[in-house]
């Protein structure tokens, strides 16, 4: 159940703080007054430390929303999902931000530099989460358990915790693989603080993430049997399917057959579509929902930060839009909205035909980045239940809406695209069935059914189904449309009409601070 594993700040303390400018970031020891022998003395201690691994997805520090565990980054910006979302959406045709905070205009234009604080923040946050997973794995070996007299069923439980820690680490290495390509690399096998971490090349990191996800499969819980918000086999398969869909970008070798194999494993593991699309993005999306595979869990009172779905909701509305109707009566920050490309993909951007188009406003064109009403607002995320109830919210600002890192709809679309790209083991007929299942939910009937599919169809359909869920940059790169001039959007390249981006911008830069601290690192080409 949701509350059995809810990430609550009042009961969760992170293992360490990470200053991104420190040397040997991936080799840091936890900064904690309590020794490992005390923390891990009992099976309950291991469970609590597992909670802390998940907590880093939903919190910005061990001491509240006003503090940051990323050195030099404002606490309001230090949430993992906020940083990840910014890197995936703000630089694309799906979003633009009115704010002038240092680094945001450059992301709006897709002209970031090596010192962009949001990209540095994502890089550092991923490394932080990898670091604490490594520490958990060092402390949960069979030898460590035996030395602490932990035996029997407790050993089996902790073996599952280890698999989950490895999954969370693999997920963060995927984030670095996708965004930065060639990051520093350390596992629990490396001695702490002895040497600077070596740099791993993108293809090798792909192989590592792939091997880890396959290795832990047998130790994870069966699909839909774990606590809500914890990884299971289906989450593992879902990440593998996503990894394989992008394998040609990551390694130069396509693996569409493998994408079909693993998306099929997810599809056949007991998940089903939520009946109403809009209910996926309401505050009770944890209830009666067999579409979400793995979520980041938020609590608007006991586990607050200014990222996550609090950011997603508040940044997309302002005081003129009745924030109370979105479950944040004291909220509304007036920053993020769409560029005209996204609503143009819908037959009616007000959602009366394709109900996935959940927008607010009257002007779709963005003529002035600093004017919040230029561009339709995305209002599919609400801190309100399907029954119209607003959950308790600290100061009327924070959200309890959980965010799905993986959901079944994505797997349908991975399957279909991989089939159309030539992968084996699937069929066009089955792909059509999956696509039309999504479209019948969207239209409420079969009027939106399609009878033919193409590779290009899936780029647009993914935007219609998954917009603002953290996929767009990766999708555009896979389609060869993120850089170059074959596809333009407003203010791409810093020009209102859009301009070509050089190919090197398909990767983000290694932050300057880490290059200075670690002589083993070489900057990505072009920066």
Instruction: Give the pLDDT confidence score for residue 130 in this predicted structure.
Output: 97
CA atoms of 121 and 127, how far apart (whole Å): 10
Which of 13, 27, 18 has the alpha carbon at shortest distance from 121?
Answer: 18
Kind and range of the H or E run holding 236: helix 233-245
pLDDT band at 5 (very low <50, low <70, confident <90, very high): low
CA atoms of 429 and 33, how far apart (whole Å): 59
Kind and range of the H or E run holding 61: none
| Number of C-beta neighbours around residue 184 at 10 A | 24
Eight-class DSSP state of 426:
-
Q: What does the DSSP assignment read for 340-384?
A: TTTGGGSSSTTSSSSTT--EE-S----S-TT-TTSSPEE----SS
Kind and range of the H or E run holding 258: helix 256-267
CA atoms of 516 and 410, how far apart (whole Å): 39
Average pLDDT over residues 161-187: 98
Within the chain, which residue ranges are assigned CATH 1.25.40.10? 220-279+406-462+472-482
Which of 456, 424, 88, 413 has the alpha carbon at shortest distance from 254?
Answer: 424
Instruction: Give residue for tokens 């309890």.
Output: 400
Tell how many helices (H) and how many strands (E) occur in the chain: 17, 8
> Tens digit of pLDDT for each residue in 200-224?
999 999 999 999 999 999 999 999 9
| Number of C-beta neighbours around residue 395 at 10 A | 12
- Which tokens go with 451? 């009878």
Asked whether the predicted pLDDT for residue 483 surpasses 50, the reply is yes
Instruction: Give the pLDDT confidence score for residue 13 in this predicted structure.
Output: 34
> Tens digit of pLDDT for each residue in 354-399?
999 999 999 999 999 999 999 999 999 999 999 999 999 999 999 9
Which of 125, 172, 77, 92 has the alpha carbon at shortest distance from 468?
Answer: 92
> Tens digit of pLDDT for each residue in 464-479?
999 999 999 999 999 9
CB contact at 8 A, 359 and 351: yes
> Tens digit of pLDDT for each residue in 251-273?
999 999 999 999 999 999 999 99
Within the chain, which residue ranges are assigned CATH 1.25.40.390? 13-219+493-527
Q: What does the DSSP assignment read for 462-521?
A: HHHHHTTSS-HHHHHHHTT-SSBSSS--TTGGG-TT---B-GGGGSPPPPHHHHHH-TT-
Domain 220-279+406-462+472-482 sits in CATH at 1.25.40.10
Average pLDDT over residues 16-39: 48
The pLDDT > 90 percentage for the chain reads: 87
Domain 13-219+493-527 sits in CATH at 1.25.40.390
CA atoms of 399 and 405, how far apart (whole Å): 17
- Which tokens go with 329? 């009566």
The pLDDT > 70 percentage for the chain reads: 94
Range from 134-148, 152-166, 182-196, 200-214 carrying the lowest mean pLDDT? 182-196
CA atoms of 406 and 91, how far apart (whole Å): 21
Instruction: Give the pLDDT confidence score for residue 25 in this predicted structure.
Output: 38
> Tens digit of pLDDT for each residue in 67-90?
888 888 888 899 999 999 999 999
CA atoms of 164 and 482, how far apart (whole Å): 33
Asked whether the predicted pLDDT for residue 24 surpasses 50, the reply is no
The pTM of the whole model exceeds 0.85: yes
Instruction: Give the pLDDT confidence score for residue 192 in this predicted structure.
Output: 79
- Which tokens go with 92? 């694309």
3-state helix, strand, coil in the chain (%, to 5): 45, 5, 50
Instruction: Give residue for tokens 């520490």.
Output: 135
> Tens digit of pLDDT for each residue in 401-458?
999 999 999 999 999 999 999 999 999 999 999 999 999 999 999 999 999 999 999 9
Degrees to nearest 5, angle at CA 438 with 6 and 470: 50
> Which residues on adjacent β-strands are paired with residue 303?
299
Asked whether the predicted pLDDT for residue 319 surpasses 50, the reply is yes
- Which tokens go with 26? 């991936």
CA atoms of 479 and 465, how far apart (whole Å): 17
Asked whether the predicted pLDDT for residue 21 surpasses 70, the reply is no
């Amino acid at each position: 159940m949701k509350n059995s594993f809810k990430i609550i700040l009042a009961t969760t303390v992170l293992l360490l703080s990470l200053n991104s400018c420190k040397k040997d970031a991936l080799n840091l020891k936890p900064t904690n007054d309590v020794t490992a022998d005390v923390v891990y003395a009992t099976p309950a201690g291991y469970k609590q430390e597992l909670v802390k691994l998940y907590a880093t997805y939903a919190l910005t520090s061990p001491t509240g929303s006003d503090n940051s565990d990323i050195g030099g980054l404002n606490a309001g910006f230090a949430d993992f999902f906020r940083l990840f979302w910014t890197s995936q959406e703000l630089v694309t045709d799906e979003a633009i931000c009115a704010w002038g905070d240092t680094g945001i205009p450059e992301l709006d234009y897709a002209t970031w530099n090596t010192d962009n604080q949001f990209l540095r923040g994502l890089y550092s946050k991923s490394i932080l989460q990898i670091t604490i997973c490594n520490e958990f794995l060092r402390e949960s070996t069979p030898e460590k358990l035996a030395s602490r007299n932990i035996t029997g069923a407790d050993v089996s439980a902790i073996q599952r915790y280890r698999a989950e820690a490895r999954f969370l680490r693999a997920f963060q290495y995927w984030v670095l693989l996708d965004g930065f390509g060639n990051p520093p690399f350390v596992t629990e096998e490396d001695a702490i603080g002895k040497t600077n971490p070596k740099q791993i090349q993108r293809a090798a990191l792909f192989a590592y993430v792939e091997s880890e996800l396959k290795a832990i499969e047998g130790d994870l819980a069966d699909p839909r049997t774990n606590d809500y918000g914890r990884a299971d086999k289906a989450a593992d398969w879902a990440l593998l399917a996503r990894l394989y869909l992008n394998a040609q970008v990551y390694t130069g070798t396509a693996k569409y057959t493998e994408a079909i194999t693993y998306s099929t494993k997810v599809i056949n593991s007991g998940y089903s579509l939520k009946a109403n699309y809009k209910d996926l993005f309401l505050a009770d999306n944890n209830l009666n929902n067999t579409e979400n595979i793995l979520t980041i869990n938020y609590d608007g009172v006991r586990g607050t930060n200014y990222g996550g779905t609090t950011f997603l909701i508040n940044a997309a509305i302002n005081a003129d839009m009745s924030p109370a109707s979105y479950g944040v009566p004291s909220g509304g920050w007036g920053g993020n909205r769409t560029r005209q490309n996204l609503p143009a993909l819908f037959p009616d951007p007000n959602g009366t035909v394709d109900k996935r188009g959940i927008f607010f406003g009257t002007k779709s064109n963005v003529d002035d980045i600093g004017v919040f009403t230029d561009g339709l607002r995305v209002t599919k995320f609400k801190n309100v239940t399907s029954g119209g109830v607003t959950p308790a919210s600290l100061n009327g600002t924070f959200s309890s809406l959980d965010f799905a890192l993986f959901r079944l709809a994505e797997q349908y679309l991975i399957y279909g695209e991989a089939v159309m790209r030539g992968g084996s083991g699937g069929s066009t007929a089955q792909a059509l069935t999956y696509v039309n299942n999504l479209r019948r939910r969207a239209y409420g009937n079969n009027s939106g059914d399609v009878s033919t599919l193409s590779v290009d169809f899936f780029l647009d359909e993914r935007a219609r189904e998954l917009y603002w869920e953290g996929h767009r940059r990766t999708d555009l790169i896979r389609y060869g449309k993120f850089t170059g001039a074959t596809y333009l959007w407003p203010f791409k390249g810093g020009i209102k009409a859009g301009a070509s981006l050089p190919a090197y911008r398909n990767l983000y830069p290694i932050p300057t601070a880490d290059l200075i601290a670690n002589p083993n690192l070489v900057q990505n080409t072009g920066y």
